[in-house]
Structure 1
Amino acid sequence: MNRRPAAHPTLTRLEVQALATIDTLELDLGGGLSVFTGETGAGKSIIVDALGLLLGERARTDLIRRGEDQLLVTGFWQAEGEEAISSRRVSRQGRSVARLDGEVVALRELSGWTAERLTIHWQHSAVSLLTHASQRRLLDSRCREQAQAYAGAYAAWQAAAARLERLQAGQRERARTLDLLQYQVTEIREVAPAIGEEEPLQAQLSRLTHQEAIAGAAEGTLELLSDGEVSAEGLLQSAARTLAAGARHDEVSAQLLEELRSALESVAALVPELRTIAEASAPDPEEVAQIEGRLAALGKLRNKYGPELSDVLTFLTQAEAELEGLSRDEADAGSLEGEVARLYAELQTVGAELDQARTQAAHPLAESLLAVIRELGMPHARLEFGLTLLPQPTSGGLSDVTLIFSANPGENMGPLAEVASGGELSRVMLAISTVVGADTPVVIFDEVDAGIGGAAAVAVADQLATLGKGRQVMVVTHLAQIAARADHHYRVEKEVLGGRTISRVRRLDPAEREAELARMLGGQTSGAALDHARELLEQGAGVAKASTKRRVARG
């Protein structure tokens, strides 16, 4: 089945059953920018948790609604008129069943399939920016070809170096292993066991060792059937003659006579075979010894490499392969040092090319990011990429990559991990999503607005709306400025029914949306708060129209 993502797929519907405080949820989703809001503690992130399960996140059994045996999350995806369905079911026993278009697949396959369509920026995602690996991958997004070439060269060098190290460290042990394997292979090959040969050999041995008893039994049977003064054969003949007198006059007696004669023929046929058995000569001791020796040799192999002959032959195949590999290593050890040196030199060349590509890409990328970061309420921010040569090559390159940052004028620049606040990190993450872009057509932000407000909140809202022009963007937010810019507004609500807490998610109509924005602004829905909410909505609509006009003009 072709499961590559179609062009620009969108998540059109999400169905959730028995997840946390959700009983049953059937949510239709739209394109552009969607926001999810609600009171503190309403469970706004439940939607993110549900989609996280489709991404392969660990399925905690405490996510299953109390009183239920399992939860189910189903996503419906639409692209170019075709629909795809992904789902994941988790039982209270911890068993997880993943499906794509109804077909059961490995969780790894579901995770990879969803990851091509969906990116989630969790509340803690911005923290990942603090690692050198994340900052390096960000810069390498502008020099993928060189980064991939370096990764290949590094893998080849590491494989050769590791093999050489094994050879050098284990020469004595390898010699002992070679001797043992050679002995084991020779021992099995000399016996040359065949699957299924033991049973007929054991039957033959049993016959030969009990030949005297077998002959005696046959002789006694002959005495009873034909050789004795009173024998079965003689009695049957007399019975047939007696019955014949009546068979001439009675059809039933005639039929019985035929059966009696048939029995007599059967007894007569047994006699020569029994005589052959009774007159058989004593077994050949050499033949008995040969069979006993073969069975002993097979039994020895089973005891050492079994328990069955099929296991012995499997062991032989594995031992021969290992023997071949060790012998090849022995032969290759002399030439491998030169190969490692050649691969290391090639790695240095490719690594230098990667560093050059990074240096060329660093300034333009930093400037692009800064343009967005400054719009996000940090007009004096400075940012650049620093490259530091490492003492030894690593999987990431010959140099380390560090984001150097300062948010305020007059402050020294320093590593992003040391100088950025939580709110600043969130805005840098949003700038990266806007400039570099997520690799997927659907992007979710779980409270990316943490730690910001005022003018910065408006700027973040503008960027999220911009991102929503080219992707399906969903945002869990507590800021009215962001919610006012959404194309679709959903509210997460909790209520208690029958002593049980239930979360619901519903799309707001225009009047409900004004009330929700008023609540977010001041915790109330007074006339002034509603007026402020309408003002935000009008401002958001105006910005959207202006943005559209600018895009048309540029086009």
Structure 2
Amino acid sequence: MISSLRIKNLALIDDLRWEMGPGFNALTGETGAGKSILIDALMLLAGERADKTLIRSGETACSVEAEVALSGELAAAMAAILDDIGAEPCEDGVLLLKRTLSASGATGASLSNKQFANGGAVTLQALKRIGDLLVDLHGPHDHQSLLRTAEQLHLLDAHGKTAPLRAEVAKAHGAWREAAQRRAAMTLSEKERTERIDRLRHRVSEIENARLKPGEDAEVERDFKLANNSRQLLEWASTLLNLVTDGEGAVLGQLAQVEKTLLAWQKIDPDAVQWAEANHRAVAELQELASSVRDYSERVDLDGERLRQVEERMALLHGLKKKYGPSLDEVIATGAAEAEELKGLEDRDETLARLEKEEAAAKKALSALAEKLTAARKKTAKPLAESVTKELRGLGFKSAVFDVSLKAKAEPTTDGADEVEFLFAPNVGEATQPLRSIASSGEMARVMLAIKTTLAEVDSVPVLVFDEVDANVGGETAWEVGRKLARLGANGERQVLCITHQPQVAAQGKAHFHVEKAVKEGRTTTKLTELNRAARAKELARMLGGANKESLALAEKMLDRK
């Protein structure tokens, strides 16, 4: 969830830091105080579109930064996204996000966007992927994951605990696609088949005739290096042998004189025995060195024909790696794979019959699993619809209907054979429509609240933002809105932010923030304050109609009632 939000030069905000905790955080204030600016800031970090009017008057740039605490499955999912987009991993479970908007050009007409994740630049699309995982905005906004049918399908499966079966369907779909591709590769015209066979025969023959051995290229390169430098190697061997044993004044001859001296020395002083032993070891090691070098020089080949053969082999290996590689192991693997394909094409009728049988079996297995998944989804769709409809009753939709539509796809895909759509009708006699067709942002927010409440245990989005969720409601309905918001954040693992004009809703917040305008150095700015108990009572009294004794007393009762 979001630990802190830093906003600079955004609309009426000059420099504001918002530190928030888990649970239900209520936002209140007079109309026009700047509450929606805070939502705009979150939308920017969620990857939504922006325009230059967001930049504070008189400034050329604005920025929004956030620290987000991650844990459990959310941390793992975020790590996968960060790795995929090339961003740095999180340190100590903290994700750092930043977005800046800059007006550029002579008149400031152009807008420049920059986005950062953990200090590194990312694309706007990458930031949106991060935002989709972290934040749902419900109200007059379009960053609502539940409007996406793919997310509706995911939540239906999560609610019905059918995700494992869906994974089996995805695996079966992959197996079917592979079988279909193998069969399709065999289904060629006679001309294409003949051309493919000729090409494969040439390629396979070229690789097989080379009689390749794994790691051979390294051996050939070493042989070439030795053969190409054989004369120099022999000269070095001769020089070393002359210095050690064969030449005038050779080291071994010198050490023989040393030995004679030490033999005489040790007769007078026994301490010289250890030096004589050291001399013996040196003589033995030099004799071994000379023997090894002499053997080596006898193996070095000055034959020009040998060098030519090595050069030809090295050129052959280089050409094969360039054509089929880049490594010799890949050349060998390509030869084996294409030899198998060649055999299949030469025995096409038999092979095609086998592949068609394999494809049919894979399709049958996929269809069986998809049908099983469809049955499970139908079984869970009705109770889900009934639960959401029940939640809607408490939110002022006394005659509303929520439904889950399941339609068959033409072919099963990785997520099954069903197209899922959440439907809603606010009044009796009206046909249900897709959620995205709901015109009123207030209605939309309350429908989303009902769905979120029902699916709270399986919905993994950690930050929920509601705006206008209490529009056109009051009394006990407003209390119920507040109760559901509080319940959504009750487990301590979810953050619920709600802009509200209803004291019944605000009273149930775990934390209460007040937004107001203030004048600072001759400029109007937005100020955010977290309210204590006494300040909350005053704010609720204001929302009730005035800070008189009766309103304050009622505000205190509202705070106690929750």
**Which digits, 9 at most, give the CA deviation of each residue in 1:122-166, with x for residues without a partner?**
554675444443443343334333444433333332332233234
1:201 is matched with which residue? 227
2:67 is matched with which residue? 74
**Which digits, 9 at most, give the CA deviation of each residue in 1:156-212, with x for residues without a partner?**
32332233234435973753553354245246546953343433332237899xx9x
Residue correspondence of structure 1 range 175-324 to structure 2 within 5 A? 175=197, 178-186=200-208, 189=211, 192-193=216-217, 194=219, 195-204=221-230, 287-299=303-315, 301-302=317-318, 305=321, 311=326, 313=328, 316-317=331-332, 319-320=334-335, 322-323=337-338
**What SS class does the counterpart of residue 410 from structure 1 fall into?**
coil
User: Normalising to structure 1: TM-score of the pair?
Assistant: 0.62
Aligned residues: CA RMSD: 5.1
1:36 is matched with which residue? 27
1:367 is matched with which residue? 386
Distance 2:226 2:358 in 1: 55
1:336 is matched with which residue? 355
Q: Is the 8 A contact 1:390 1:400 kept in 2?
A: yes
Displacement after TM superposition at 1:359 (Å): 2.7
Displacement after TM superposition at 1:408 (Å): 1.0
User: Normalising to structure 2: TM-score of the pair?
Assistant: 0.61
Please tell me whether residue 14 in structure 1 is matched to residue 7 in structure 2: no
**What SS class does the counterpart of residue 377 from structure 1 fall into?**
coil
Give 1:510's match in structure 2, choosing from 530, 533, 543: 533
**Which digits, 9 at most, give the CA deviation of each residue in 1:343-393, with x for residues without a partner?**
222233223323332333222221111111111111011223333333333
**What SS class does the counterpart of residue 399 from structure 2 fall into?**
coil
Distance 1:48 1:532 in 2: 33
Q: Which amino acid aligns with 1:357?
A: A
Q: Which amino acid aligns with 1:14?
A: S
Displacement after TM superposition at 1:531 (Å): 5.6
Distance 2:385 2:451 in 1: 10
**What SS class does the counterpart of residue 175 from structure 1 fall into?**
helix
Taking a change above 3 Å as real, the CA distance of residues 466 and 534 of structure 1, as seen in their structure-2 partners, is farther
Q: Is the 8 A contact 2:223 2:310 kept in 1?
A: no
2:177 is matched with which residue? 158
Identity of aligned residues (%): 24
2:508 is matched with which residue? 485
Taking a change above 3 Å as real, the CA distance of residues 188 and 520 of structure 1, as seen in their structure-2 partners, is farther
**What SS class does the counterpart of residue 45 from structure 1 fall into?**
helix
2:446 is matched with which residue? 427
Taking a change above 3 Å as real, the CA distance of residues 306 and 442 of structure 1, as seen in their structure-2 partners, is closer
Give 1:87's match in structure 2, choosing from 95, 116, 138: 95
2:547 is matched with which residue? 527
Distance 1:202 1:48 in 2: 69
Q: Which amino acid aligns with 2:502?
A: A
Distance 1:499 1:319 in 2: 75
Distance 2:208 2:522 in 1: 76
Give 2:364's match in structure 1, choosing from 327, 345, 352: 345
Distance 1:514 1:453 in 2: 23
Q: Is the 8 A contact 1:27 1:505 kept in 2?
A: no
- Structure 2 stretches lacking a partner, 5+ long: 73-90, 101-113, 240-300
Q: Which amino acid aligns with 2:207?
A: V
Q: Which moved more, 1:359-368 or 1:158-167?
A: 158-167
Distance 2:328 2:55 in 1: 49
Q: Is the 8 A contact 1:156 1:343 kept in 2?
A: yes
Q: How many residues align?
A: 437
Displacement after TM superposition at 1:94 (Å): 5.6
1:45 is matched with which residue? 39
- Structure 1 stretches lacking a partner, 5+ long: 1-10, 100-106, 212-217, 219-283, 545-555
Taking a change above 3 Å as real, the CA distance of residues 505 and 166 of structure 1, as seen in their structure-2 partners, is farther
Distance 1:304 1:432 in 2: 61
1:398 is matched with which residue? 417
Please tell me whether residue 474 in structure 1 is matched to residue 496 in structure 2: yes
**Which digits, 9 at most, give the CA deviation of each residue in 1:300-343, with x for residues without a partner?**
64366459x99553652553465367468768654221122122
Q: Is the 8 A contact 1:493 1:505 kept in 2?
A: yes
2:266 is matched with which residue? none
Distance 2:478 2:99 in 1: 41
Q: Which amino acid aligns with 2:533?
A: P
